[in-house]
Amino acid sequence: MRPSLLLPLWLGACAPTADLDLTLAQSEVIPTVFSATVDGTATGLDAAWVEFGRDGDFSLRAPLDIAADPPWEVALIGMKPLSDYEARIGVQLGGETYTGRAHAVSTGGIPAELPDLTLERSGDDGFEGFLVTSILGIPTAAAILDRDGEYVWWYIPDGIEQVGRAVLALDGRGVIAMDVNPTPGEHGSFQRVSWDGTEVETTELSWGHHDLYEHADGTIAYLAADPAEVGGTEVAGATLVERAPDGTATTLWNVWDYQDLFTVEATGGEPLRAWPHANALDYLPGEDAYLASFLYLDAILKVDRASGDLVWVLGGEASDFSLPGGETAIFDRTHHMQRLDDSLLVFVNGSAQGGESYALELAFDEADPQVEPVWEYHPDPALSCITMGDVHRFDGGDTLVTFSYSGQIHEVTPEAEVVWKLSSSVGGTFGYVTPAEDLYTARGR
């Protein structure tokens, strides 16, 4: 077998060497994914990887675990469909970088039933990297999109009605996909899907229905229902639950423990049975606390992870904060949020009767009971996103706003100028969206 990378033995008894061969196998399930196997002998390497790309650009890089002995295996992810690529081994030793001969591969096409995506971009502006998201439609799918608005990975699940949250698994082996709003009366679940789509592990989440967060130890936090009868009507309720790797489930917080704060009714004439509709979850590592959004409370809550105590309420009748004029009606139906250094970024759905949806940033200090809008993005023409919706602030200052129900994702500047806009064809609704600079070092969210 002809080596893909052959370096001569360096002088010295412990000199580094590399005599390695690269083998590539295309996934039969997701034909933009190739399994790379690097075998042979190597000593004294500082790093090794498989790099790949098109037209002589090998900027995509899959790192190899040189702490283990060869063969090394890694999935090549991030390639566009129906495209020609080249892949080769790269190593670093003695402060020098060496690459092997290139192997040509060709990717397959996406499933015809996935919605078409159309990109509008100002020049070469827009984020760098990928978007991990989902398609809510028929079919539903977990998906990864590149900055050109193209599918580079997808998975159409069996056993999940609608994929809401898709996120890179912390073990680096693939994607976690959770269903959203399963059939009433049924428990939720999530699936761990390998990069090549051939390995799928399903885990039931008792009454789970919205969003999850994976911790470093494998614990999964998620939002769930806790149905109870109120005035002759079964009401969903809401809990924040953690599921340990051994399957043990612990309820950290339950809305029924706070009936003195929250009136058990739905706003805007919505049916009681859905109350309070917890719909988005985020974790604050530096504070060991969760943020959760509740559609029918018009509020975001902070819950301490260790104690399960409710720390504060932002918005609605029980709000600990108010606008400069004293109003506590800060939001009209919220969805996902992002805590920034001195502010809070929130997706506001607007009224159930087709109100305008927008992104809102509030100057926010937990020690100050007053909050104040400091930035907003209202699309023109207006969009109504009555379900789902997401926001993300990039380090460079641009903001990604996902109008899920309208099938659009906008990247806007601090001046609210759209520099990147992705639109889905009819039938395509985006779930939560998590940006990733690359698909190997960026894990979770």
Q: Are residues 173 and 229 in the same domain?
A: yes
pLDDT band at 7, cuts 50/70/90? Answer: low
Is the predicted pLDDT of residue 230 greater than 90, yes or no?
no
Q: pLDDT by residue (tens digit) across 385-443?
A: 888 899 999 999 999 999 998 999 999 999 999 999 999 997 789 999 999 999 998 88
Give one DSSP letter per residue of 363-380, joined into a string.
E--TT-SB-EEEEEE--S
pTM for this predicted structure: 0.94
- Output the domain CATH number for residue 91: 2.60.40.10
Same domain, 216 and 69: no
Tally of CB atoms within 10 A around 375: 17
> What's the CA gap between 127 and 400, in Å, rounded?
9
Give, as one character, the DSSP assignment of residue 444.
Answer: B
Counts of helices then strands in the chain (DSSP H, E): 0, 37
Q: Please check whether residues 78 and 127 belong to one and the same domain.
A: no
Number of domains forming the structure of the chain:
2
Is 153 among the domain residues? yes
In this structure, are 278 and 203 located in the same domain?
yes
Query: Is residue 125 domain-shared with residue 102, that is, in the same domain?
Result: no
Looking at the predicted structure, is the pLDDT value of residue 266 above 50? Answer: no
CATH number at residue 248: 2.120.10.30
- Which of 6, 1, 36 is CA-nearest to residue 20? 6
Q: If DSSP states are collapsed to H, E and C, what string results for 258-315?
A: HCCCCCCCCHHHCCHHHCCCEEEEEEECCCCEEEEEEHHHCEEEEEECCCCCEEEEEC
Domain enclosing residue 389, as ranges? 117-436
Quick check: 380 and 419 in contact, CB under 8 A?
Answer: no
Residues 59 and 139 reside in one and the same domain: no
Last residue of a domain, one of 52, 87, 106: 106
Query: Can you give the pLDDT at residue 442?
Result: 83
Asked if the model's pLDDT at residue 229 lies above 80, the reply is: yes
Q: What is the pLDDT of residues 54-64, one digit of tens each?
A: 999 999 999 99
- Classify residue 441: in a domain, yes or no: no
| pLDDT at site 16 | 59
One domain for residues 404 and 286: yes
Give the confidence band of 172 by pLDDT, cuts at 50, 70, 90: very high
**Banded model confidence at residue 13, pLDDT cuts 50, 70, 90:** very low
Percent of the chain whose pLDDT exceeds 90: 77
Where among 54, 86, 106 does a domain terminate?
Answer: 106
Whether 98 and 125 map to the same domain: the answer is: no
**Domain's final residue, options 47, 79, 106:** 106
Among candidate residues 405, 398, 395, 302, the one with its CA nearest the CA of residue 350: 405
Task: Give the C-alpha separation, 221 to 156, whole Å.
Answer: 24
Q: What is the pLDDT of residue 329?
A: 93
